[in-house]
Amino acid sequence: MTGSPQRLQGRLALVTGASRGIGAAVARRFAAEGAHVILVARTVGGLEERDDEIRALGGSATLAPLDLRDFDKLDQMGASLYQRFGRLDVLVGNAGVLGALSPLGHVAPTLWGEVIDVNLTANWRLIRSLDPLLRRSEAGRAIFTTCAAGREALPYWGAYAASKAALETMVRIYAGEVARTPLKVNLVDPGAVATRLRAQGFPAEDRALLRQPEDVVEPFVALAAADCARNGEILRA
């Protein structure tokens, strides 16, 4: 932690998909910047590893193992966090799944449902559950991870692209609804990053040529800072 700018000192941040990839990198960086990080992911082992890394750096974290498709528990999260912390300063809705690359007519309904549930509906549930806590912060910030696939309408990327297009629209609507409040709501498009999701979509790609998750976290930090004035924007890493 020595020498860190500590731009998030004393702030409370919740990060989904925090067990690996971009979510893990964001959680580590937030902790290095002084935030207490609530780590949300399905994999308990992965969360424990991230917790060990954060504590080794002198930071602090709270583990919240959760499948984002368990909507009842998502709905209860706001009350649980209120009882323990009384507020939330930063929400990072980062978790996402690709599903499968397939013609639209060949996508299984269960797979379509999973992609929409994780990439879109879970983020709406998070907004619904955590918005009151974000408004209790003097400088609440909500940040969501998006992808160019949602804007480019790529063939065979149907479920994933549709979920990201809908996410962007939903987040911009949310940003408009809070425009007259201290709460700021934005998106980050990290671009091509060496993550497991990227490998699923581009299995033949040379991962050595891609940026690592740690290379794309700066926009998340900037948007999470209390002095950030951006709202309703997409930042590209």
Catalytic residues: 160
Task: Return the closest-CA partner of residue 125 out of 87, 182, 73, 176.
Answer: 73
Q: What is the C-alpha to C-alpha distance for residues 228 and 223, in angstroms, rounded to an integer?
A: 6
Instruction: Retrieve residue 2's tokens.
Output: 């020595």
Q: What is the CA radius of gyration of the chain?
A: 17
Q: What is the C-alpha to C-alpha distance for residues 17 and 4, in angstroms, rounded to an integer?
A: 24
**Tokens 């639209």 map to which residue?**
104
- What 3-state DSSP class applies to 91? strand
Q: How far is CA 223 from the centre of its chain?
A: 12
Q: What is the C-alpha to C-alpha distance for residues 20 and 196, in angstroms, rounded to an integer?
A: 9
Q: Angle, to 10 degrees, between the axis of helix 109-116 and the axis of helix 158-177? A: 30
Inter-residue contact 38 to 64 (CB < 8 Å): yes
Q: What is the C-alpha to C-alpha distance for residues 58 and 53, in angstroms, rounded to an integer?
A: 9
